[in-house]
Structure 1
Amino acid sequence: MRRVLVLGIGNRFRSDDGVGPAVVDRLRALGIPAEERSGEGAELIDAWQGHDTVIVVDACRSDAAPGTVLRIDAAAEPLPAGLFHYSSHLFGLAEAVETARALGRLPRRLIVFGIEGAAFGFGDSLSPAVETAAGEVVRRVAAEVRASGP
């Protein structure tokens, strides 16, 4: 069983929705294994099987300021309703978490970092606030991976 899996969810060509893949790129540059995923729910449930700890990074939308970073212990509590529902996937992250919980298929630890996005239209760059937040999340994810041990 692998101990830690880091997943970055998003679409690199939808502006701030690409923050998950951007974080994956930066973690890999630091030598931390991470995987990019589209965010389709069934794919996520399959991906985190066999892992003790899963850390997911995704863009979110709420009434917070762009670049706001949320850390949610999704193994202990449901993801807030509507936070990750802007996705084009009908069965996305929030639905995957709750389906896996109902089926007893959640990893022991499931940490979700949500980064409040500003722009979700076509484009391949992050807004300034989300770019800054991505750097913060890279530091926080790296610390969580190191704390989880080898």
Structure 2
Amino acid sequence: MAARILVAGIGNIFLGDDGFGSEVVRNADISHDDPSVRVIDYGIAGMHLAYDLLEHWDTLVLVDAVPSRGTPGALHIFQADHDTDESSSAAAGLDAHGMDPAAVFASLRALGGSPPYTVVVGCEAGSVEEGMGLTEPVANAVPRAARAVEEIVAALQMPSAALSMGEEC
């Protein structure tokens, strides 16, 4: 049986570079005919993602803007750590219009689920001020990120493939 993979683009397109994840999933060339792979632009619908994660998924590929470390447009690919301190999960609450990944995973746990193996494709944001459109460095990273997502999905579909996480592109 093929691994079930959910590719989730997240972010707010009205906050500049925060819309990175949405833009990447629109540009990723992943077949929509494969029932084992679902690609969705969740935008800011965190509860929608939490409910979808209640279905059995082997892997979540989460595409999102990440805080800048001083290099807007830099890509970071890594495995999410679901074993972090959950003491703040109660404070996260169930916010139907929020898309903080930690809050999504807390909501998922509150609903009785548990997060699948998660690969994050993140891009350092340049600006998350109000306004539509990505800054130039982040927009330039979209094709590279889309290719990375395509390669991750292809690798996950190979039975003996091992992904090298922690890459920086």
TM-score in same-fold range (> 0.5): yes
Task: Give yes or no for the alignment of 1:105 onto 2:114.
Answer: yes
Aligned-partner Cα distance in 2 for 1:47–1:6: 11
Task: Give yes or no for the alignment of 1:123 onto 2:124.
Answer: no
1:72 paired residue number: 78
Moved more, 30-39 or 113-122: 30-39
Among all aligned residue pairs of Structure 1 and Structure 2, give the percentage whose two residues are the same amino acid: 30
1:136 paired residue number: 144
Amino acid at match of 1:147: A
Task: Give yes or no for the alignment of 1:7 onto 2:18.
Answer: no
Aligned-partner Cα distance in 2 for 1:130–1:77: 29
Q: Note closer, same or farther for the CA distance 1:48–1:75 as it changes in structure 2 (3 Å cut).
A: farther
Aligned match for 1:47, one of 49, 52, 59: 52
**Shift in Å at residue 45 of structure 1?**
2.0
**Shift in Å at residue 95 of structure 1?**
2.7
Structure 2 residues not aligned, in runs of 5+: 33-37, 86-96, 159-169
Amino acid at match of 2:5: V
The SS at the match of 1:63 is coil
2:31 paired residue number: 31
CA-to-aligned-CA distance 1:56-107 (integer Å, 9 cap, x gap): 101121433101212221156649xxxxxxxxx6672123335646865111
Aligned match for 2:67, one of 56, 61, 64: 61
Structure 1 residues not aligned, in runs of 5+: 80-88
Amino acid at match of 2:114: R
Q: Note closer, same or farther for the CA distance 1:19–1:69 as it changes in structure 2 (3 Å cut).
A: same
2:17 paired residue number: 16
TM-score of the two chains, using structure 1 as the length reference:
0.76
State the superposition RMSD in angstroms. 2.8
Amino acid at match of 2:148: R
Q: Decide whether the 8 Å contact of 1:40 with 1:92 is kept in 2.
A: no
Aligned-partner Cα distance in 2 for 1:39–1:94: 13
Q: Decide whether the 8 Å contact of 2:8 with 2:25 is kept in 1.
A: yes
Q: Note closer, same or farther for the CA distance 1:138–1:147 as it changes in structure 2 (3 Å cut).
A: same
What are the residue-to-residue correspondences of 1:79-98 with 2, within 5 Å? 92-97=100-105
Q: Decide whether the 8 Å contact of 1:39 with 1:93 is kept in 2.
A: no
How many residues are matched?
Answer: 139
